[in-house]
């Protein structure tokens, strides 16, 4: 199984276009050692030719430009993208679908709550029907609801419901539904190797724990370093946990959780532009390195 990190930042990317926090300002001016990043998405393949894109970020055209495997190369109109899987209905994970409108058919996998949000309160899928044919494949939201997306028949995707909120525009924003947010265990049937992917993760419950136990690689939420990071930067008063993200530091944080699995490859993704770990010379980054935890970057490749 081949995994390509298309984008490793949280919503807004890094640096964020309207943000002058120390991290964004430092990256623009070159005063910190930090790579620019697009909004989070990965691509998975069994053969390196046909790829399944997990979450379609607003930056997908830039991500395709920097990854030739997704570009046309076999016909006059062509793509290496065989299908798209959505983990949720958030703007930063779905807007990229509009950039794929020139294709004739868009094979799309998501849960029913996500499909409802993208059909009613944010009717993106209805809009797409005027340009292409979005074919919806329903994802269940229990580990036994295993599926193999088109283009990845030798890979088994097991959905794991994770805690979190529906998008702000959702009709049930304050009434969480199972299936609003997913983690995915992706297993290569040929090798038995498994990656667990969850760019949004606020709680390690029994289902997530079981998925972590069976995975060889954990590619998980790295949004904020501290719970009050946004407030510290003077940007917002919401805590990371209130936004559906487990902070890395502090009691029960992501570092402490990942420390229980030293034998697995552990990678943080969906890094917010305020997070000091983006500075490769920061003390926070050094703590992750000492703990054997990696930070995803655009173009990162993992093979299992």
SS3 125: helix
Q: What is the pLDDT along the chain (304 residues), one digit of tens a residue?
A: 999 999 999 999 999 999 999 999 999 999 999 999 999 999 999 999 999 999 999 999 999 999 999 999 888 899 999 999 999 999 999 999 999 999 889 999 999 999 999 999 999 999 999 999 999 999 998 778 999 999 999 999 999 999 877 888 888 888 888 889 999 999 999 999 999 999 999 999 999 999 999 999 999 999 999 989 988 888 888 888 888 899 999 999 999 999 999 999 999 999 999 999 999 999 999 999 999 999 999 999 999 9
pLDDT given for residue 279 in this prediction: 98
pLDDT of residue 236: 81
Cβ atoms of 58 and 93 closer than 8 Å: no
221: DSSP letter: E
pTM of the model: 0.96
Contact between 141 and 161 (Cβ < 8 Å): yes
Rounded-to-integer distance, Cα 87 and Cα 179, Å: 9
Q: Which domains, and CATH codes, for the chain?
A: 2-303 (3.60.15.10)
Residue 275: DSSP 8-state: -
Whole-number Cα distances in Å, 102 to 43, 75, 92, 106, 131: 20, 14, 20, 10, 7
pLDDT (0 to 100) of residue 50? 97
Rounded CA-CA distance 41/63 in Å is: 9
């Amino acid at each position: 199984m081949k995994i390509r990190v298309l984008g490793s930042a949280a919503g807004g990317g890094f640096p964020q276009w309207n943000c002058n926090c120390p991290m964004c300002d430092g990256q623009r001016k070159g005063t910190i050692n930090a790579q620019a990043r697009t909004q989070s998405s990965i691509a998975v393949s069994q053969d390196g030719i046909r790829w399944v894109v997990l979450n379609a970020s607003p930056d997908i055209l830039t991500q395709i430009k920097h990854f030739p495997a997704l570009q046309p190369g076999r016909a006059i109109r062509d793509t290496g993208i065989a299908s798209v899987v959505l983990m949720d209905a958030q703007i930063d994970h779905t807007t990229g679908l509009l950039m794929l409108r020139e294709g004739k058919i868009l094979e799309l996998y998501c849960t029913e709550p996500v499909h409802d949000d993208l059909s009613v309160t944010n009717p993106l899928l209805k809009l797409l029907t005027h340009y292409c044919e979005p074919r919806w494949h329903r994802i269940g939201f229990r580990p036994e609801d295993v599926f193999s997306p088109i283009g990845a028949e030798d890979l088994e995707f097991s959905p794991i419901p994770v805690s979190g909120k529906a998008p702000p525009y959702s009709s049930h924003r304050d009434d969480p539904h199972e299936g609003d947010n997913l983690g995915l265990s992706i297993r290569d049937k040929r090798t038995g190797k498994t990656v667990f992917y969850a760019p949004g993760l606020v709680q390690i419950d029994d289902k997530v724990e079981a998925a972590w136990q069976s995975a060889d690689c954990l590619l998980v939420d790295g949004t904020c370093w501290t719970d009050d990071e946004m407030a510290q930067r003077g940007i917002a008063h919401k805590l990371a946990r209130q936004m559906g993200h487990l902070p890395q530091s502090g009691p029960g944080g992501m570092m402490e959780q990942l420390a229980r699995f030293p034998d697995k490859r552990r990678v943080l993704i969906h890094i917010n532009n305020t997070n000091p770990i983006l500075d490769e010379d920061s003390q926070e980054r050094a703590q992750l390195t000492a703990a054997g935890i990696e930070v995803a970057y655009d173009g990162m490749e993992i093979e299992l």
